[in-house]
Every structure is written in structure tokens, then in C-alpha cells.
Structure 1
């Protein structure tokens, strides 16, 4: 079983680039390894999504 790498409140980015995002939830149980995030797009509209933790990296 994979352990969670991130916690709510962490600031992350896709390893392939893109906007900084805030972790809002991390998966538990059958959802371990899934990270839910929120961010603002270029027109300042809120967006959200979910990604596998392996696709994300912490932003300093």
C-alpha cells in the first residue's frame, strides 16, 4: 500500500509544470495515493482537480 506523501495545505505543482496548487484533501483507504487540489486559473477563476501523488511535487 502506498503512503500519503502530501497533507492538506501543502503547495504543489505538477512535475510537468503548470500553476501552483494547494492540497485540499489526501486520499484514505481505497483512495490512498490520490491528492485533491485547488488553484486559480489565468482569469482568476477557482479550479480544482485530483491527481496521483506521483505526478506532483512540493513547491518551496
Structure 2
């Protein structure tokens, strides 16, 4: 378990195994110690429906922004 989150709120990630792009909503912290637990609450849209879930840091990877050509 990492002591500091690798991803900040608002960063776009996806599961290493595939799936939709998700936004980091919250880095989960232990209620007693306030230390990072190693997981994140993420949210994404499935059509028009907003979904969310909790995922371990090791299962996520950063989505690199696409270069916008002129």
C-alpha cells in the first residue's frame, strides 16, 4: 500500500483490464489514521447514467490526453 495517492481528484484513468474512462472522485482514506488506503472512488457515465465504484490503485492506469492537431 502506498502512503501517498498516485492520482489526484479529477484525473482520468481506466482499468488496466479495459473498460470505460473514469474520473478520480476521491482518494480513500482510513477513518482513524486519515492515511491513504490504496483505493479510489471513481465515476463514469454508462450512456446517460452516472456510475461509480471503488478500485485499488494497482488496477488503474492513467489515460493520456490525445494530442489535438490543427
If the length of structure 1 is used for normalisation, what is the TM-score?
Answer: 0.87
Higher-Rg structure is 2
Q: Is the Cα contact below 8 Å between 2:43 and 2:51 reproduced in 1?
A: yes
Structure 2: which 5+ runs fail to align? 65-70
**Superposition CA RMSD, Å:** 1.4
d(CA) in 1 for partners of 2:57, 2:51: 18
Q: Which runs of 4+ in 1 moved over 3 A?
A: none
Instruction: State TM-score, norm by structure 2.
Output: 0.75
- Higher share of residues assigned helix: 1
Query: Who is 2:52 aligned against?
Result: 48
Consecutive unaligned residues in structure 1, runs of 5 or more = none
Aligned residue pair count: 59
| Greater relative contact order (Cα < 8 A, sep 6+) | 1
Q: CA deviation at 1:32?
A: 2.0
